Amino acid sequence: ATGMGALSGGAFGWAALWYRRRRLSLSQQVKRALADGSLSVVYQPIVRMRDKHVVGVEALARLSDEAGEPISPEVFIKAAEDAGLVCEVARLVIRRALADMRDELLARRDFDLSINLSVLDVLDAALVPYLNDEIARNGLNPDQIVLEITERSTARREKLVEAMKAFQRSGHRFFIDDFGTGYSNLAYLASLPISGIKMDKMFTQAIGKEAVCSAIVENICAISDRLGLDLIVEGVETEEQAAYILQLRNDAFGQGWLYGKPGRTLPSTGDSRPHC
Ligand code: C2E
Ligand code: CA
Ligand code: CA
Ligand code: CA
């Protein structure tokens, strides 16, 4: 029995070591990318669904490993959170995105830039002045910056709401990301200082396939409308999905491959667009 115990303990130890090394190397890659600027940002258009008018973009972070293979943002953002680096990632994304989208933001007052923040970023008191300085430095308007947060636990809810209000006082708006998953339930919607929600793509992609999800989609459209919240529907890939949403909420905004994939520059309206 002693032998067996030692053996399984050993095997477990190896697994733990492998995991630690993998994690270490991931956070090292994030650190390297922060230092050498190889962490990049791409932009995906957000449109008013009824006429496909582009109303903004979402900034999405990108990182490749040494072999040039993309690392999923879900994976490296988690690693950055665990390594205490996520606030630096947020600063880099903010700096890049404001610089990249500056001309578009200045040319069109109805154009928004959406930035993803971890709960840790929102709780970082130094981020509000950082964001405000960057906005001022670029001569931009705070109300064109939208902050997307995903709540993954109910811990520190009161602290989070207080922190969100500090951003709000500076004129920024919040959207709840991945709405319908995790802890983002309807009950707590009313308690958060938000101007809209983003419906997770899992619901969009189940339209026409799973009756349960269609019922949830209907509810999310109706309740967000009743609460006066804007709705952005994620993962719109087909005209059928778009038509289904529009018949529920004619004023919905959408994001997905149907309208444009994430890219280095603003799609369709492009760099060469004169101005409007
Ligand atoms: P998210 O905020 O839900 O971002 C939307 C994800 O859906 C993106 O994946 C986007 O590429 C993908 N997507 C967009 N349209 C479609 C579609 O029509 N079909 C399908 N199948 N997928 C679509 P991505 O870029 O891999 O990002 C994954 C997640 O990583 C994001 O989810 C966000 O939570 C996180 N993330 C990305 N950038 C940042 C960042 O700068 N900071 C933080 N904190 N998190 C980030
Ligand atoms: Ca997002
Ligand atoms: Ca999302
Ligand atoms: Ca997501």
Q: What is the ipTM of this complex?
A: 0.96
- By mean pLDDT, which of 15-19, 148-152, 229-233 is the weakest? 15-19
Instruction: Compute the average pLDDT of residues 2-30.
Output: 61
Q: In degrees rounded to 5, what are phi and psi of residue 192?
A: -100, 140
Mean pLDDT over 254-272 rounds to 80
In this predicted structure, what is the pLDDT of residue 25? 80
For 223, phi then psi, to 5°, come to -70, -40
Query: pLDDT tens digit string along 47-105?
Result: 999 999 999 999 999 999 888 899 999 999 999 999 999 999 999 999 999 999 999 99
What's the confidence (pLDDT) of residue 11? 58
Q: Whose CA is nearest to atom 29 of ligand 1?
A: 74
Tell me the per-residue pLDDT of 126-170, one tens digit each, with 9 for 90 and over: 999 999 999 999 999 999 999 999 877 777 788 999 999 999 999
Any ligand 1 atom below 6 A from CB of 116: yes
Q: Average pLDDT in the 251-274 region?
A: 79
SS3 assignment for the chain: CHHHHHHHHHHHHHHHHHHHHHHHHHHHHHHHHHHHCCCEEEEEEEEECCCCEEEEEEEEEEEECCCCCEECHHHHHHHHHHCCCHHHHHHHHHHHHHHHHHHHHHHCCCCEEEEEECHHHHCCCCHHHHHHHHHHHCCCCHHHEEEEECCCCCCCHHHHHHHHHHHHHCCCEEEEEEECCCCCCHHHHCCCCCCEEEECHHHHCCCCCCHHHHHHHHHHHHHHHHCCCEEEECCCCCHHHHHHHHHHCCCCEECCCCCCCCECCCCCCCCCCCCC
Question: In this structure, how many other beta carbons lie within 10 angstroms of the beta carbon of residue 94?
Answer: 23
What is the average per-residue pLDDT within 215-228?
92
- Res 158: pLDDT: 87
% of the chain exceeding 70 in pLDDT = 86
Average confidence score pLDDT of the chain: 88
Q: Is the distance from the beta carbon of residue 201 to the nearest atom of ligand 1 less than 6 Å?
A: yes
Residue 163 Cβ < 6 Å to ligand 1: no
Structure tokens at 50: 């009824």
Place of tokens 């007052």: 109
Residue 132 and residue 102 in contact, taking contact as beta carbons nearer than 8 Å? no
Atom of ligand 1 nearest to the CA of 60: 38
User: Which whole number is the average pLDDT over 181-210?
Assistant: 85
- State the Cα–Cα distance between residues 115 and 34, nearest whole angstrom: 17
pLDDT attached to residue 153: 74
Q: Does the beta carbon of 44 lie inside 6 Å of ligand 1? A: yes
Euclidean distance between CA atoms 199 and 247, whole angstroms = 16
Ligand 1, pocket-test mutation among 234, 237, 241, most atoms within 8 A of CB: 234
| 211-239: average pLDDT | 93
Q: How confident is the model at residue 233 (pLDDT cuts 50, 70, 90)?
A: very high
Residue with tokens 């995906």: 44
Give the distance from CA 203 to its chain's centroid. 17
Predicted confidence (pLDDT) per residue in 92-122, tens digit: 999 999 999 999 999 999 999 999 999 999 9
Q: 170, 129 in Cβ contact below 8 A?
A: no
pLDDT band at 15 (very low <50, low <70, confident <90, very high): low
